[in-house]
Structure 1
């Protein structure tokens, strides 16, 4: 594999853990009723998903057979950040008009 590709993979590997930690701590800081207001899973469910995803990011680096679990952990964190987080912010902010 070319050196540039290895460097990109290394950067992605090191950026995964902070992304997972951010998702977990953001989920931890939100109000429980906001999760039900956006028709998503409950707060404990998202805490479990983001904690499990972060654990996978820490335990299974991009090496060997563990890369599948690493990818699953990254996807779990990114789903929270991209789908759930914006709706939580919108619901808790309220109507600005």
Structure 2
């Protein structure tokens, strides 16, 4: 019984990680190449290759996402989504200023 629960938890974690990596690579593919340069980040080719490899690793490690390669793939996707994507939004004029309850922050 416990083994079955652990297998399901690992499968859910692996599917979530693969979803994050797939979303990141699709988002990178949809961006203009000049936006990466304007945002001061690496090139579009660099990010699409890195995120494509991360998604492939995420697919291979779907049932065991807690190994070092699976974790590195999640980190690559998370760095793109947390750092590069907001910079690209701002460079393309989509981000705008963040407004908190007392003004911009």
Matches within 5 A, 1:24-39: 24-39=25-40
**1:82 maps to what in 2?**
82
Q: Which moved more, 1:33-42 or 1:8-17?
A: 8-17
Instruction: Give the alignment's TM-score, normalised by structure 1.
Output: 0.81
Q: How many residues align?
A: 96
Measured in 1, the distance between the counterparts of 2:24 and 2:96 equals: 26
Give the 3-state SS of the residue equivalent to 1:93 in structure 2. coil
**2:59 maps to what in 1?**
58
Unaligned runs of 5+ in 1: none
What is the root-mean-square deviation of aligned Cα atoms in Å? 2.7
Instruction: Give the alignment's TM-score, normalised by structure 2.
Output: 0.76
Q: Structure 1 residues 29 and 67 mapped into 2: Cα distance closer, same or farther (>3 Å)? A: same
Pair member with larger Rg: 2
**Greater helix fraction, Structure 1 or Structure 2:** 1
Measured in 2, the distance between the counterparts of 1:89 and 1:42 equals: 15
The answer on 1:70 being equivalent to 2:88 is no
Q: 1:42: how far off?
A: 0.2
Measured in 2, the distance between the counterparts of 1:95 and 1:53 equals: 26
**2:101 maps to what in 1?**
none
